[in-house]
Amino acid sequence: MKHNKSKFILRWVGRIITIFSIAFVLIKLSTYSQQLNIQDIPSYSYLVFVFCIGLYALGNYILSMAWRLLVANSEYTLSASTAIWMFGGSQIAKYLPGNIFQFASRQVIGVQHGIKNNVLLKSTLWEIGLMGIAAGSFGVFLLNEYFPNLMGYEMTLFAGLIVITGSILSLIASRNYLKACGLYLCFFLVSGGIFSLIFFTLNDNLTPTLETFLQTSCYFIIAWLIGFATPGSPAGLGVREAVLITLLDSPSIEDTLLVAVLVSRIVTVLGDMLFFAISSVFRPKQAVSNNSLL
């Protein structure tokens, strides 16, 4: 009886968080759309934006598979569909003020479906740590702005940093953590690439090269990291945009920079909502059990 009551409470806590999350996202989308001047956006750009929304939903899938690996280090084994449902159903809560509700929501959903609190908490701590390490690694591509002598050595430094990080992880943790870190690197390549694609689509006067595309992507990743690390900033709202504008500020792109930043935020929000909608299809029919593959 007590167990059923706890599950009932957890179920409604999860539902309340989800409802508030969706409402908050819709409010933010309305705010951002009102700040945009549609006339500043070329008509062909919308196809690129739609593609980027789908690409960001794919990025969420990558994150869910990384989280699945972190949970798999315990006595639990999640199927891909279960991980997608749990991760997608909780991830949208990151837009609530506090920047912690995606983790709290995942904790509630996980416990409700039979995963122990300590297992979920451990996976959350590893997720935060590994995402921070993965995002911070891309900072080496921006060193040439402050250390011109390093020009041309960025890829070598990045590869060396990845090898060192991987070696340390393999010594102190299982292979799953190493795989998860690799997936986080892939996610940041996707998310950074999305911003660069939007940025250069809106700036017809700029001809992107591999170097400028990668550098712009790294600016986004570093801005993401600062927003992620800022206490109380829901999904880095405001902080990420301010950092991007500061890093990319230039008189030649001043008119389109703010538009690119706002569009990229709308794209990521819609990508999160798309993944949330897709993940709802994968709801498991039974609780997660130890050493079981659902």
Q: Where do we find the tokens 């908490």? A: 121
Any residues with CB less than 8 A from the CB of 208 and at least 6 apart, and which? 196, 200, 216
- Cα–Cα distance between 123 and 125 in angstroms, integer? 6
> What phi and psi values does residue 240 have, to the nearest 5 degrees?
-60, -45
Average pLDDT over residues 265-276: 91
For residues 56 and 271, is the Cβ–Cβ distance under 8 A?
A: yes
Residue bearing the bigger pLDDT, 188 or 152: 188
pLDDT at 282 over 70: yes
Q: What token pair was written down for 27?
A: 């409010």
Could you say which DSSP state residue 96 is in?
A: S
pLDDT confidence band for 196 (50 / 70 / 90): very high
Tell me, what's the pLDDT at 292?
Answer: 44
Q: Where are the domains of the chain?
A: 2-282
Least confident segment among 53-57, 180-184, 218-222: 218-222
284 three-state secondary structure: coil
**Maximum mean pLDDT: which of 1-5, 149-153, 211-215, 227-231:** 211-215
pLDDT at 195 over 60: yes
Could you say which DSSP state residue 69 is in?
A: H
For residues 94 and 101, is the Cβ–Cβ distance under 8 A?
A: yes
Q: What token pair was written down for 229?
A: 């690390």
For residues 205 and 225, is the Cβ–Cβ distance under 8 A?
A: no
Average pLDDT over residues 45-65: 95
For residues 161 and 185, is the Cβ–Cβ distance under 8 A?
A: no
Counting other chains too, the contacts that 205-208 makes at CB distance below 8 Å and 24 or more residues apart are 205/252, 206/253
pLDDT confidence band for 294 (50 / 70 / 90): very low
- Cα–Cα distance between 40 and 54 in angstroms, integer? 23
How far is residue 37 from each of residues 78, 198, 262, 294, measured CA to CA in Å?
A: 45, 16, 11, 48
Could you say which DSSP state residue 232 is in?
A: B
pTM comes to: 0.82
Number of C-beta neighbours around residue 112 at 10 A: 19
pLDDT confidence band for 198 (50 / 70 / 90): very high
Tell me, what's the pLDDT at 63?
Answer: 96
pLDDT confidence band for 44 (50 / 70 / 90): confident
- Cα–Cα distance between 272 and 94 in angstroms, integer? 10
pLDDT at 53 over 90: yes
Tell me, what's the pLDDT at 271?
Answer: 94
Residue bearing the bigger pLDDT, 202 or 20: 202
* H-only helix segments in 72-153: 80-91, 101-112, 117-137
Percent of the chain with pLDDT over 70: 75
Could you say which DSSP state residue 92 is in?
A: G
How far is residue 6 from each of residues 108, 113, 121, measured CA to CA in Å?
A: 11, 12, 19
Tell me, what's the pLDDT at 293?
Answer: 38
Summarised one tens digit per residue, pLDDT across range 104-138 is: 888 888 888 788 888 899 999 999 999 999 999 99
Q: What token pair was written down for 264?
A: 């990229």
Tell me, what's the pLDDT at 287?
Answer: 55
